[in-house]
Amino acid sequence: MTALGTIDGTNLNGGQKLAVKYFCVAAILFGAQIAFGLLAGLQYLIPDFLYEVLDFSINRMVHINAMVVWMLFGFIGSAYWLMEEESGIPVVGLKLGNLVFWIFTAAVAVVVAVYLLVQIGPGEHSTLWLITEGREYIEAPRWADIGIVVCLLVFFFNAAATFNKGKWTGIGGVLVLDLIALFGIYLAGMFYTTNISVDQYWWWWVIHLWVEATWEVLVGVLMAYGLMTVLGARRKIVETWLYIEVALMFGSGILGLGHHYFWIGTPEYWLSIGGFFSALEPVPLVAMVVHAVFDSGVHKMRSSNHPAMAWLIAHAFGNFFGAGVWGFMHTLPQINLYTHGTQWSASHGHLAFFGAYATINIAFFYIAMQKWRGNVWMSGDLVGGWKWKWSMVLLNLGMVGMTMGLLVAGYEQSQIERAIEGSTWAGYFAAQAHPWFQQGMFWRMIFGGMFAAGYVLLVLDLLTIGRHETRPAQNVSAGG
């Protein structure tokens, strides 16, 4: 047994050893997401920057693909992290899981290398199979799609077999069922069709149902586990609330798909369905506020891991503002007619993805580091505690700043390009040249830099936090 505060694999169980591998790749891809986001952002300000070398389309594609994959890696890692503790037995088929991790990582590296070096291909099916599928968020070529499904199947097998051999908990049950949906829905995005309306109809199945349904539920699972670990909340209550959350999320999220079917050729009834669920989707968020206040009053709010706790709180706020406020501001069809496909969507996307998903992954990174160093103290008066606090400030402030810059640009765009100029190309460029737009993009860049600085500090902190600690983690298991 090594000393407390040293990174040592013996501190982790088998699933957790695999989890930290996923976390490492996730953290690296998070960095790639930021780097390519900065390049793409800069091209708004300096259009000739890297022209025909690394065009905006490539930077933007890597930016959003890195995001999808790092979050997916974070979720998979988090699931392996809690698997053995939840089921009570070692992960079944861990060797296969390990093998798949290396295959998955290698495949991601190949896909990114092809994105950057080959970039595009001739207008033939071979391009879609080998280079890129050219569909936003799921640009990965078809061979990689098949690979992703196989990897997710192995992941599903690990989870289902482990819980089945050990014991099924509420968390385990929801997790396994959600994984079925996770890979099942991905299949909807794996075919080619000439008809762009049909194409986008199924494309939204993958994008929306992944992001606003299965990912949200996955986050619910992780949150439930996180609250038990960090706060010592009771399983029975946490699991009941997980079910309530699943009912609310799927109840509003599945048909909430309607708000993507306003303008792609789909029938008019989607305007009513989308509008209806858009109006009601924030109700569960408001309900969660009550629960959070109740909990904070009933529990002894002592956390064994302050950074993780702080990021879980950031998750609650980020989800509320990013998905709730920013979503509802422009989602009713009466206004979405003007905001659809402008920087409004970018503003909402940035805040919502970060608030809902990046935050919870970062919380899990901290939970992992604590255990990896032998369950070291991570509560108050942490040695070098300024680092996690400052990285958190920089990341959150950077994100809020970027969101605001994009919001101003999107607001101007919806007025000038859409309402006044009638969405012609001349109108589009008039709006792009407007000072509000240009300044919005400038400030987005500044805050993007701040965000990047926060990331560097975050990585530094994750590598060093708890290194000089000699106190064991605070015990919170007695909490009510």
> Total residues at the site for other proteins (CB under 8 A)?
134
Q: Which one-letter amino acid corresponds to residue 158?
A: N
**From candidates 35, 234, 385, 453, binder to other proteins by CB under 8 A:** 234
By C-beta, is 117 or 268 nearer to other proteins?
A: 268
Report in angstroms how near the CB of residue 227 gets to other proteins at its nearest. 13
Q: Does 463 bind other proteins (CB under 8 A)?
A: no
Site map 142..181 versus other proteins, x via CB under 8 A: ----------------------------x-----------
* 3-state SS track over the chain: CCCCCCCCHHHCCHHHHHHHHHHHHHHHHHHHHHHHHHHHHHHHHCCCCCCCCCCHHHHHHHHHHHHHHHHHHHHHHHHHHHHHHHHCCCCCCHHHHHHHHHHHHHHHHHHHHHHHHCCCCCCCHHHHHHCCCCCCCCCCCHHHHHHHHHHHHHHHHHHHHHHHHCCCCHHHHHHHHHHHHHHHHHHHHCCCCCCHHHHHHHHHHHHHHHHHHHHHHHHHHHHHHHHHHHHCCCHHHHHHHHHHHHHHHHHHHCHHHHHHCCCCCCCCHHHHHHHHHHHHCHHHHHHHHHHHHHHHHHCCCCCCEHHHHHHHHHHHHHHHHHHHHHHHHCCCHHHHHHHCCCHHHHHHHHHHHHHHHHHHHHHHHHHHHHHHCCCECECCCCCCCHHHHHHHHHHHHHHHHHHHHHHHHHHHHHHHHHHHCCCCHHHHHHHHHCHHHHHHHHHHHHHHHHHHHHHHHHHHHHHHCCCCCCCECCCCCCCC
Site for other proteins in 210-229 (CB under 8 A): none
Candidates 17-25, 43-51, 74-82, 455-463 — which segment interacts with other proteins by CB under 8 A?
A: 43-51
Binding of residue 261 to other proteins (CB under 8 A): yes
Task: Out of 75, 201, 357, 455, name the contact with other proteins by CB under 8 A.
Answer: 201
Min dist CB 380 to other proteins, Å, is 5
Apex 161 CA angle, 168 and 249, nearest 5? 55
Among positions 418, 440, 469, 473, the unique one binding other proteins when judged by CB under 8 A: 418
117 binds other proteins (CB under 8 A): no
| CB 88 to other proteins: min, Å | 19
Nearer to other proteins, 203 or 364 (CB): 203
C-alpha distances in angstroms, 278 versus 247, 307, 356?
A: 16, 33, 17
CB 163 within 8 A of CB 227: no
Nearer to other proteins by Cβ, of 11 and 43: the residue is 43
Q: Which is nearer to other proteins, 55 or 85 (CB)?
A: 55
**Window 372 to 401, contacts with other proteins (CB under 8 A):** 379-380
Whole-number Å distance between alpha carbons of 344 and 278 = 16
Binds other proteins (CB under 8 A): choice among 102, 168, 191, 192: 192
List the one residue from 7, 198, 383, 397 that touches other proteins (CB under 8 A).
198
Question: Mask: binding to other proteins, 57-86, rule CB under 8 A, as x and -?
Answer: xx-xx-------------------------
Residues between 438 and 457 with contacts to other proteins, criterion CB under 8 A = none
Among 109, 153, 164, 240, interactor with other proteins by CB under 8 A: 240
- Applying the rule CB under 8 A, the residues between 118 and 137 that interact with other proteins are 119-125, 127-128, 131-136
Provide the minimum distance between the beta carbon of 61 and other proteins in the complex, in angstroms, as a whole number.
Answer: 5
Binding flag, residue 44, other proteins (CB under 8 A): yes
Reference 111, options 53, 68, 158; nearest CA is 68
Q: Which amino acid appears at position 142 of this protein?
A: R
Give, as ranges, the residues between 345 and 374 that touch other proteins (CB under 8 A): 345-346
Residues 24 and 472: their CA atoms lie apart, in Å, by 24
Touching other proteins, residues 281-340 (CB under 8 A): 282-283, 285-291, 293-303, 306, 309, 320, 324-325, 328-330, 332-335, 337-338, 340
Minimum gap (Å) between residue 219 Cβ and other proteins: 15
Report the C-alpha gap between 89 and 143 in whole angstroms: 34
User: Least Å distance between CB 82 and other proteins?
Assistant: 19
CB 53 → other proteins: shortest distance, Å? Answer: 9
- Do 280 and 331 contact (CB within 8 A), yes or no? no
Nearer to other proteins, 102 or 192 (CB): 192
Residue whose entry in the numeric block shows the structure tokens 């009601």: 280
Contact between 434 and other proteins by CB under 8 A: the answer reads no
Closer of 281 and 461 to other proteins (Cβ): 281
> Is the Cβ of residue 16 or residue 33 nearer to other proteins in the bound state?
33
Which of 272, 386, 468, 470 touches other proteins by CB under 8 A?
A: 272
Give me the least distance between CB of 362 and other proteins, in Å please.
19
User: Which one among 275, 322, 374, 405 touches other proteins, defined by CB under 8 A?
Assistant: 275
